[in-house]
Amino acid sequence: MSGECINNEDLHWFAVRYRLGELSEQERARFEWELGENQAAREALAKAVALEAAVTICFQKTSLPVRNAVSFRWAGFATAVAVAVCFAMLIPFFKFDPQKSRQVGEREATPRLHALAFAWTEAGAEMADASFNADGLSWGIDLHWEVDGADSSADVFSADAANETLSGAAFVEEERAGDYAALEEAAGDAGWMLVALSGMQTLANSETSGSETPGDESP
Amino acid sequence: MSAPAHLVFCRQAVDREGDSKQINFARLRMARSTANSLDSDTSARLYVEHADELRRFLIGVLRDAPLAQDCVQAAFAKLLTHGGGVRAESRKAWLFRVAYHEALAVRRRQAVGKRVLEQVGKDGESLASGIQNDAAETLVSRETIDGVRRALAELPQNQRDVVRMRMYENKTFRLIAAELDIPIGTALARMRTALKKLRQRLESE
């Protein structure tokens, strides 16, 4: 191969281009001959590899493609808007309007539903964890507030069915004892609903027995 | 004097940063000891001093980090068995030359293997793919990376763009020239000037 050595300055440029695969066939053969004969050429190639590695790391760790950055901002903005809209949609269902609830109850034809609405409004405003099954056959304690629960109505309400649906031995025990305070304490967050149901049961009993005194629960 | 059929070296040595480095020469098969054998202490010292640079050089030749490491081991194995007759000031150059010839032999074997695969109809693409991103950090020290980062920040924007497009985005100079709407010679000149500044900055640190 050629006996004319590449000068030291060109060696580094040759080394980088050799590393990047940018040399012509003739240049490549010439440089590989240098690699066999010249320690400076070998060390230049080692430096070229180190420089390429360092440059790669620097650009890798410090830069983001502009396109990705823009997408990220729009994605974040869209997510924030979606969360805000969902929250705004949920706000009305956390607002408890006793007056409105009473009106809903009064519109229904059945006396039982009227009594339920009355008990509901009297019991309190927490509606986070209860739902009303539209067919009126059962109550369910649910952790998720269901949109249809507030306005759903039922033609028939069965206290017995409610007792079977509501879980927890404490409820059954405390309802038999007929103690409002104990009911609330035993059921925790759902206590207001249990109190309402118990009150409704009392009203139902009073209708059949002729008693007008709420609170005379029989065990 | 006969030597054991297998010889295992495992030495603790201190590299220039002061961290201990386990040097494992693996198993070396020695048919017999020769007058040209190099003592293990000297071999270990040479390994600490030159193994990293030798590996970078071999990656430049082979474009494959595992193959490069194999060649490093082969070179030091030969140093052990034949390096005793080499003058101390020439051992580095001797080591690099031996490693280079070892790499050329590997490349020839790869070429033969590729032809065989092509003949049997299998995919003959080379396994080598240059420096993988996760392997790049093993080739340079943290100080070198920091120095290059500072040097890159000092480059003019047009030079930094060419360096980035060629070395990081792996675009050809022809494509870079087309995208930047400059002659290809200008792109090469900017790259060469930038690399010279980067190298000089690194050597001065």
Domains of chain B: 6-119 (no CATH), 140-204 (1.10.10.10)
Contacts of A63 in chain B (CB under 8 A): 164
A174/A111 same-domain check: yes
Backbone phi, psi, residue B33, to 5°: -75, 150
Q: How many domains does chain A have?
A: 3
Pick the residue with more confidence: A102 or B59? Answer: B59
Of A42, A46, A56, the CB nearest to B167: A56
The answer, for A117 touching chain B at a CB cutoff of 8 Å, is no
Instruction: Output the six-digit token pair for A162.
Output: 């409610």
A107/A170 same-domain check: yes
Say yes or no: ipTM exceeds 0.95: no
The answer, for B140 touching chain A at a CB cutoff of 8 Å, is yes
The answer, for B205 touching chain A at a CB cutoff of 8 Å, is no
Of A35, A53, A60, the CB nearest to B139: A53
A119/A195 same-domain check: yes
Pick the residue with more confidence: B147 or B5? Answer: B147
A106/A145 same-domain check: yes
A87/A159 same-domain check: no
Given an 8 Å threshold on Cβ–Cβ distance, is B60 in contact with A19?
yes
Contacts of A57 in chain B (CB under 8 A): 136-137, 140, 145
A120/A58 same-domain check: no
A74/A112 same-domain check: no
Percentage of chain B lying above the pLDDT 90 cut: 51
Pick the residue with more confidence: B20 or B48? Answer: B48
Backbone phi, psi, residue B9, to 5°: -110, 135
Give the tens place of pLDDT for each residue, B47-59.
999 999 999 999 9
Pick the residue with more confidence: A34 or A169? Answer: A34
- Contact assessment for residue A135 and residue A152, using Cβ atoms and an 8 Å cutoff: no
Contacts of B168 in chain A (CB under 8 A): 55-56, 59-60
- Average pLDDT over chain B, rounded to whole? 79
Report the distance separating Cα A44 and Cα B59, nearest Å: 13
* Helix ranges (DSSP H) in chain A: 8-20, 25-37, 39-62, 66-94, 98-107, 111-123, 159-165, 169-177, 180-187, 191-209
